[in-house]
């Protein structure tokens, strides 16, 4: 075998480019990159993946191996470039650029954050791949992303921008249609592929058993069996029967289930109080993951949370050998990639505020000691970190064997080969317009928003509305609402009012700027906000639509509303289509709506649908 870069990519890429008569600027650049005469034989390229992995591994230095074990966030600038701008703000200002991480740290996995337009994104992704190809061994980059296909304004879902926009995952659970979930996943896969995203840092299989938890809008609700059923369809749609050049690899999260957070406080932050299991229901939370294993999920992300008194030591999941090795590797025989959630090793300076690493239970360990413990727990890759020098140091000092590092790097390289990245990591900018945001994709996403809507109350069967009505709207675009009725400015002059609201939340008292926008706190409306809503409901017959990113506590609002609808990420037009009978509400609640905050606090954190006398039970939903 020839020990030189492009060993694995050169000739095959030339064959692909010439056979397709590539004409775009990006493809011409890519073709030129490989006209260097340094390539292996075609027979080598057609060897089994395992042989190619072993050959490449034997050529890698410990520094190159260590770099492969890290995945860091990056972005593409509005003009499609990837260098850090002098005026960079936010996380972009504190993180190294992709170029720097490739050249100085040998990192070849990146998580996309902010993105520009679709064509500019492709330019940026190709620029990242070009930079990687110019490295010593030319190892291609695996580009990943958090969910980007949902109609959402929440912190955990990246902006959909030019992708099709679907209901959030609780909406899929409300519909309960495996075929729809598979269709969604297949469309999202095609759109990801068109822009070069090859790893999905989703789906989220946590069970929403603690109503206060801030990440419920990323789950499939609180029912384990329903989540498991939809999990398989989701993974199958993204990955196919097996990983190949048409797949997007799914990283199922958050092992072994992150739903039962004490008081709902997310373990991303220092005020977390651990995952608790007062109902002795630890195993129940792994049911969706068992379905993910059956569907051959390509990866598993281990959570921050501390499984209080469930293992020998109360430390975060990724530091916990019982959770990763004994449970995941040995009991479930899982041999795919295991990655940490983001930021377990290094404190981050957020413009003056120091955000501590999420090393819960192991805060006193040094950064090097944290890295060693995570690797020895059985994890393959560190999320949101760029510290490969610590791995190198551990090996050089004899605290970790290179054989243990090889074990993880083999898994990471194997997936790159399976996805075809060594054969052609580039994407064609000319195909983006054709493959992303197609009208039929957009229409399918819009349909899911409408289908997921859940009718909770319909007094005197006021819905669907009909005729030429005078309507008063609040929190709805007047221009859109005017297509359904005559808009009036005074609710007293209206035949009916339509009010859109969101589940209440209250910021935690913290200096962490990210924590301040997470939806923590009570689920009921209070004070002036509540009175303002009730005043409208008492003035005119009102249809209330509420966005359920968490299970809202709304007994007074429900009692005074003429009709009550719930959505899980929906546009004004989608909501109004249902209200005016252009579409049917098909949703059934994917979690119960508690009757009071006392009921929320009295229920068991780890047990589904167990609050006393819920206002609306799990699975409730009316129809026209």
Residue 200 DSSP SS3: strand
Give the pair of three-digit tokens for residue 220: 């499939």
**Chain centre distance of CA 589:** 22
- With the C-alpha atoms ordered 187, 157, 442, 624, is the resulting torsion angle positive or negative? positive
How far is it, in rounded angstroms, from Cα 575 to Cα 474?
13
How far is it, in rounded angstroms, from Cα 270 to Cα 304?
11
Query: CA triplet 119, 201, 239: central angle to 5 degrees?
Result: 85
Give the pair of three-digit tokens for residue 376: 């020895």
Q: Which residues lie closer than 8 Å to 163 by C-beta, 6 or more apart?
A: 148, 149, 188, 191, 436, 437
- With the C-alpha atoms ordered 55, 60, 62, 66, is the resulting torsion angle positive or negative? negative
Write out the E strands in 454-602: 454-458, 470-474, 486-487, 496-502, 542-547, 563-567
How far is it, in rounded angstroms, from Cα 275 to Cα 260?
5
**Chain centre distance of CA 390:** 28
How far is it, in rounded angstroms, from Cα 45 to Cα 51?
10
CA distances from 83 to 25, 74, 88 (A): 20, 10, 10
Give the pair of three-digit tokens for residue 235: 């993974």
DSSP 252-300: EEEET----BGGG--TTSTT---B--TTS-TGGGGHHHHHHHHTT-SEE
Give the pair of three-digit tokens for residue 187: 């469309």
Q: Which of 475, 543, 452 is nearest to 168 (CA)?
A: 452
Cβ(444)–Cβ(164) under 8 Å?
Answer: yes
Residue 172 DSSP SS3: helix
Give the pair of three-digit tokens for residue 611: 């609050």
How far is it, in rounded angstroms, from Cα 390 to Cα 400?
11
From the CB of residue 219, how many other CB atoms can be counted at a distance below 10 Å?
A: 26
Give the pair of three-digit tokens for residue 60: 């890698």
In 327-467, alpha helices (H): 367-377, 388-396, 402-418, 432-435, 439-452
How far is it, in rounded angstroms, from Cα 409 to Cα 573?
48
341 is catalytic: yes
Instruction: Tell the residue number behind the tokens 């759109």, with chain if given.
Output: 191
Greatest Cα pair distance, the chain, in angstroms, is 82
How far is it, in rounded angstroms, from Cα 439 to Cα 447?
12
Find the catalytic residue in 40, 341, 524, 610.
341
Cis link prior to 60 (omega < 30° from 0)?
A: no
Catalytic residues: 341
């Amino acid at each position: 075998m020839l020990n030189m870069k492009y060993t694995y990519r050169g000739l095959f890429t030339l064959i692909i480019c010439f056979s397709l008569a590539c004409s775009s600027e990006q493809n011409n650049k890519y073709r030129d990159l490989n006209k260097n005469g340094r390539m292996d034989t075609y027979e080598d390229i057609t060897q089994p993946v395992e042989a190619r992995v072993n050959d490449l591994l034997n050529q890698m230095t410990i520094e190159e191996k260590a770099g492969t074990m890290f995945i860091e966030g990056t972005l593409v600038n509005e003009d499609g470039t990837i260098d850090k701008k002098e005026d960079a703000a936010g996380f972009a200002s504190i993180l190294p650029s992709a170029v720097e991480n490739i050249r100085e740290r040998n990192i070849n996995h990146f998580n996309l954050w902010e993105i520009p337009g679709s064509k500019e994104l492709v330019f940026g992704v190709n620029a990242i791949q070009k930079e990687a190809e110019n490295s010593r061994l030319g190892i291609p980059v695996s580009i990943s992303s958090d969910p980007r296909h949902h109609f959402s304004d929440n912190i955990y879902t990246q902006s959909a921008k030019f992708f099709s926009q679907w209901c959030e995952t609780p909406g899929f659970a409300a519909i309960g249609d495996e075929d729809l979930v598979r269709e969604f996943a297949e469309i999202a896969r095609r759109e990801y592929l068109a822009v070069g995203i090859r790893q999905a840092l989703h789906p989220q299989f946590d069970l929403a058993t603690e109503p206060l938890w801030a990440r419920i809008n990323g789950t499939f609700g609180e029912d384990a069996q329903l989540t498991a059923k939809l999990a398989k369809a989701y993974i199958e749609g993204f990955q196919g029967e097996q990983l190949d050049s048409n797949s997007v690899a799914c990283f199922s999260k958050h092992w072994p289930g992150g739903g039962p957070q004490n008081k709902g406080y997310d373990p991303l932050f220092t005020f977390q109080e651990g995952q608790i299991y007062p109902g002795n229901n630890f195993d129940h939370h792994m049911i969706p993951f068992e379905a993910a294993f059956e569907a051959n999920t390509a990866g598993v992300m281990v959570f921050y949370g501390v499984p209080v008194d469930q293992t020998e030591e109360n430390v975060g999941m990724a530091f916990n050998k019982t959770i990763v090795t004994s449970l995941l590797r040995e009991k479930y025989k899982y041999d795919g990639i295991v990655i940490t959630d983001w930021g377990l090793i290094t404190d981050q300076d957020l413009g003056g505020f120091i955000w501590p690493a999420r090393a819960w239970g192991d805060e006193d360990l040094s950064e090097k000691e944290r890295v060693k413990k995570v690797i020895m727990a059985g994890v393959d890759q560190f999320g949101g970190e760029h510290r490969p020098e610590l791995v190198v140091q551990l090996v050089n000092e004899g605290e970790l064997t290179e054989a243990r590092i090889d074990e993880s790097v083999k898994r990471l390289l194997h997936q790159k080969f399976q996805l075809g990245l060594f054969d052609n990591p580039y994407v064609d900018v000319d195909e983006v317009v054709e493959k992303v945001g197609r009208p039929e994709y957009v229409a399918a996403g819009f349909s899911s928003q409408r289908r997921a809507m859940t009718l909770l109350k319909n007094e005197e069967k006021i819905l669907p509305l009909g005729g030429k009505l005078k309507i008063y709207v609040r929190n709805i675009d007047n221009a859109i609402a005017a297509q359904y009725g005559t808009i009036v400015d005074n609710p007293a002059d209206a035949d009916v009012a339509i009010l859109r609201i969101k589940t209440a939340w209250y910021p935690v008292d913290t200096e962490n700027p990210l924590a301040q926008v997470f939806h923590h706190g009570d689920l009921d409306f209070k004070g002036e906000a509540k009175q303002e809503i009730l005043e409208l409901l008492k003035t005119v017959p009102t249809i209330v639509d509420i966005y359920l990113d968490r299970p809202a506590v709304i007994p007074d609002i429900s009692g005074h509303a003429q009709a009550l609808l719930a959505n899980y990420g929906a546009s004004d037009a989608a909501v109004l289509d249902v209200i005016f009978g252009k579409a049917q509400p098909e949703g059934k609640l994917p979690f119960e709506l508690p009757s009071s905050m006392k009921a929320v606090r009295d229920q068991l954190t780890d047990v589904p649908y167990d609050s006393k006398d819920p206002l609306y039970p799990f699975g409730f939903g009316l129809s026209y």
